[in-house]
Amino acid sequence: MITIATENPISLSLVRDEYKNFDNINSQDRLYTNQLLYQRFQKYLSYESVKLVVVGSPADTFTLKIGTLRTSIIPTTETIGGFKYFVFDIDFSVTNNEFTRLYGSDGSNDYISEFIQLIPNKGNLYKVEYFNEVNTKFVNYNSGSIVFHRWLNVKFLPNIKYEGEATVFNNLGKLEKTNQTRQRVFNLQIPEIHLNECESITSALGLTNFYINEIEYVNNGNPEAEQIGNTNLYTFEGELTQASIKGYNSSN
């Protein structure tokens, strides 16, 4: 049975006309929810590549193609503990189209991705990268050799706060501080994204390594996705602590 982990940076939905549910319909096609639909293209640089991992049983096959010409993407495969991992390195330079999609098949079922817009430069977008130190159930990270990434319109809201701990003791009636640590905490907001992307980013925040523009952050608690009116768009918010910062971590 084919499984596509939600932490993949590009979601692939099972193509089915009957029994619609969250897992077999794309965000921009959610007509069964009676929402106002807005196109929002996931963005990648036209000359870069991104990884996508599919897992199945040892006997399974899976093919992936890109664009209107259905250019085949050849995976590397590895079988571990009864699972077969298909690792696709999607090279966007093979298509000349500004807008594209991915098309997958396991021989019995077809899959289709969200729309992707290929852009010449990042502009004001932030690069989000993430991976896990150990394998998860549906992704063989190979000790960090599999690194997912995506480009997002990220806002760090201005109410940054500092948290930390101090060690203070009473030295013959005088309070003395031996050390203090400082943590920089941000409110993160991603406006106008699809619900499939919200789920993917939530999964990414649960991994051991999460970076925005090459700075590592740790997720605090559960992020939230709030629907924007009666649309298929959401605002995603969460709290992040910068993993390490320059500052006072001192001892006397």
Grouped pLDDT means (10 residues each) for the chain, 252 residues? 90 71 54 62 94 95 94 93 93 91 93 91 94 86 82 75 66 69 81 85 91 91 87 87 64 41
pTM of the model: 0.82
Residue where the block lists tokens 């919200």: 198
| pLDDT of 93 | 93
Which amino acid, residue 93?
A: S
The full DSSP string for 114-182 is PPEEEESS-TTPEEEEEE-SS--SS---GGGT--EEEEE--EEEEEEEEE--EEEEEETTEEEEEEE--
Residue where the block lists tokens 């993917």: 200
| pLDDT of 187 | 86
| pLDDT of 145 | 79
What lies within 8 Å, CB to CB, of 145 at 6+ separation is none
| pLDDT of 140 | 86
Under a CB-based contact definition with an 8 Å cutoff, are residues 111 and 15 in contact? yes
Residue where the block lists tokens 């608690």: 221
SS3 at position 66:
strand
Under a CB-based contact definition with an 8 Å cutoff, are residues 150 and 140 in contact? no
Instruction: Round to whole Å and give the CA distance between 34 and 230.
Output: 8
Q: In this structure, what is the dihedral angle of CA atoms 109, 115, 120, 126, given to the nearest 10 degrees?
A: -100
Instruction: Round to whole Å and give the CA distance between 33 and 20.
Output: 10
SS3 at position 40:
coil
SS3 at position 7:
coil
Under a CB-based contact definition with an 8 Å cutoff, are residues 56 and 131 in contact? no
| pLDDT of 248 | 46
Instruction: Round to whole Å and give the CA distance between 48 and 252.
Output: 49
| pLDDT of 141 | 85
| Strand partners for 126 | 152
Under a CB-based contact definition with an 8 Å cutoff, are residues 28 and 37 in contact? yes
